[in-house]
Structure 1
Amino acid sequence: MISFLSSDRSKPVAIWLFVVAALVIGMIVLGGATRLTDSGLSITQWKPVTGAIPPLSPADWQAEFARYKQIPQYAQLNAGMSLADFKTIYWWEWSHRFLGRIIGAVFFVPFVVFAIRRELPRRLFLRLGVIFALGGAQAAVGWWMVASGLSQRVSVAPERLMAHLGLAFALLAALLWTAFDCWAGAARQTLPSPWGRRAAALLGLIFVQILLGALVAGNDAGLVYNDWPLMNGRLVPDDYWNGGLWATLAHSQGAVQLHHRLVAYLLTVVAVALGVTAWRSTYLARTSKLLGLGVAAAVVLQAGLGIATLMTRAPLGLSIVHQLSAAAVLGLGVAFAWRVRRI
């Protein structure tokens, strides 16, 4: 039987959730590196428990390599790859999956300990259960994504990559919001103003932009149209239409990059306008004002990083920084949305 804390706040529980959130950010960055190095299909089986143990002998490595040779990516892109090269991409994917297992343990074990010690605020228990379910869904969607590249494709399906990354960022947002609630306790008074809706709209726009970025990544669309602000000298790329609505929205390199650009412009304008308005507001607390300016500054920085990443054809280091910056933008957006709901 689970016991609950009589208080509605617990700083130790909040710190635990912040640690899990930091690990999720690490998972997002490592996942991005895994995709950028084309390593995500190197492990062709999903073994949630025994898969934590990597190959330990030459025979194990040869067996793992043999399984990889059966998929289209090897035949069409990496034919003749050496075992040493295979080990390089294998360790990227293994590390990504292993970190996922660590996150599961870091969440579940302290949860049980806090429950036994009656340090879980009752009002947050259901939300913690939803977070745990999100983590499980993230693992399942990860395998669903990988499976899309094992039979007929040489890479994962972009829409499945979008679902996988979207779940990761949703999990990050849920962890941060819950940690803030756990640290500060239930709101004693809410702010009777439109700021809650404004901040929520901004957060939603940030999330949409992250999903569009996943489609860019899944289609390798950062490797084409590397000029800016035009696209090969045109406002709309020549290959925008891909023969159908879904094929265009999810699988056209020109379309997904254009959509990502357009929403980036919109997000930048909205974030800056909201940040300046927040700073001038007579209703918001100073912390809310600073967070509003912080979100605006982070969005502007992220837009600059995006342009630089595009114009340099998405080098590994800059692409990872761009993805890490997206996590920072979302985190600040969550903090701003959470804070403006309180006086």
Structure 2
Amino acid sequence: MKKNRLLPVLAFGCLVFLGADEAPAVEITPFYTQNQSPLVQIFGLPAAGNAVIAASGRAEVTIAQDMASNYAKSIDVATREGILLDGESERTTVALRYGAAQGVEVGLDVPLIGHGGGISDGFIEGWHDFFGLPQGGRKEAPRNRLLYSYEKDGVERLRVDDSSFGIGDVRLSAAYQIYGNGPGAATLRTSLKIPTGSSAKLHGSGSTDLAIWITGSRDNALEKWGHWTIFGAAGGMAMTDGKVLKEQQNNLVGFGTIGIGWSPADVIAFKTQLSAHTPFYGDSSLPELGDSAVQLIMGGTIAFSPTTFLDIGVSEDLAVYTSPDVALHLALTRRF
């Protein structure tokens, strides 16, 4: 788990260096992240994406790092099931986008996924105490443990307790610019996730997932203090049967995002978004599996140049136990 952290750090530094020779500028786009629950991030749930695609003949490279601290524990005696998700996960995604023709974009996402006990339990407990947030049983659990387990009807259907790191499920994507007229834009996007990651290690789901969605944005100039943008996305995803809790997996999921941002100066923007999706699993009374997820992501964008910018965000689970209670998101993008 420690070695893979060097990859995004080195890549971030290289990309910043390459883009540091131009005057800064910033635009407001959705965070390039999704639910990092160990039982959800294995599927092809897409990020909303930019409403403006790459121009013909131009390329875009994003390196996104998501670090999540998971602790969720639920038991339902009536349905004879219980779940424990205790551990830390890291997901480094290299996302490539290319303008293949006027109004057409193609892409490739390659994720590297790690699970381990981590070292942040003490910090998270202190954070919750400082802000008066509920611990949800964290203080009674062993520190820095990795244990993902699920039991139903007296049978253990899932158990992951060994640290791991490896490639996840690769994703192919395409987009078509529906319109892009002045400050408004909308794009039809689609992605196909291929089962290249290990489902036993929760690096992948074992399913093939097809997602289709529309993402749009509207930018508005302010007289004195920069500009503000509203953005959103909505769509659905169909999945073949995977290898993780196969008997309970849903084959259709809906998802959406809505957010707003404000840029008071060319070099910085502040933004927040709500992202939600319907359950990936059924036949369960536990929120970790059977409830829809809602996340609040807050942060902003720093522009190093018109072609190089860094997103920084922190997410919280508004629907408790359906996503990690704390996750950090970093994403550096360079346009060529």
Give the TM-score normalised by the residue count of structure 1.
0.23
Q: Give the structure with higher Rg (CA).
A: 1
Structure having the larger proportion of residues in strand: 2
Give the TM-score normalised by the residue count of structure 2.
0.23
